[in-house]
Amino acid sequence: MEKIGILIETNNGEIKAANFGVITAARKNGNELYAFVLDCTGNDCEKQLQEYGIKAVITITSPRGAIKWHPVLWAGAIESAMKHFGINTLFGLTSAKGKDLLPRIAADLDAPLVMDCIKVNPAEHTAEKPQFSGKTIATIKVKGSHYLFGIRPNAIEAVPAPCKAETIVFQTEVASKRMTVETLRQGPSRGVELSEAAIVISGGRAMANTENFNLLKQCAETMGAAVGASRAVVDAGWVPHTMQVGQTGTTVSPKVYIACGISGSVQHFAGMKTSDFIIAVNTDPEASIITKCDYYVIADLFKIVPLLTSRLKDALGRS
Does residue 211 share a domain with residue 91?
A: no
Cα–Cα distance measured from residue 41 to residue 60, given in angstroms and rounded to the nearest whole number = 9
Which residues have a Cβ under 8 Å from the Cβ of 237 and sit 6 or more positions away?
A: none
83 neighbors 109 (Cβ within 8 angstroms): no
User: Where does a domain end: 171, 204, 232?
Assistant: 171
Which residues have a Cβ under 8 Å from the Cβ of 65 and sit 6 or more positions away?
A: none
Does residue 95 share a domain with residue 12?
A: yes
Does residue 145 share a domain with residue 93?
A: yes
94 neighbors 154 (Cβ within 8 angstroms): no
Domain range for residue 207? 194-316
Does residue 204 share a domain with residue 75?
A: no
Cα–Cα distance measured from residue 253 to residue 242, given in angstroms and rounded to the nearest whole number = 16
User: Where does a domain end: 171, 186, 216?
Assistant: 171
* pTM exceeding the 0.85 threshold for the entire prediction: no
Cα–Cα distance measured from residue 175 to residue 62, given in angstroms and rounded to the nearest whole number = 10
CATH of the domain at 203: 3.40.50.1220
Number of domains in the chain: 2
Domain membership flag for residue 230: yes
pLDDT at 211: 96
Does residue 39 share a domain with residue 86?
A: yes
pLDDT for 73-120, tens place per residue?
A: 999 999 999 999 999 999 999 998 999 999 999 999 999 999 999 999
Domain membership flag for residue 67: yes
pLDDT for 211-266, tens place per residue?
A: 999 999 999 999 999 999 999 999 999 999 999 999 889 999 999 999 999 999 99
Name the pLDDT band for 12 (thresholds 50, 70, 90): confident
Does residue 132 share a domain with residue 240?
A: no
Does residue 256 share a domain with residue 221?
A: yes
Does residue 95 share a domain with residue 21?
A: yes
- Which helix (H) or strand (E) segment holds residue 130: the answer is strand 126-131
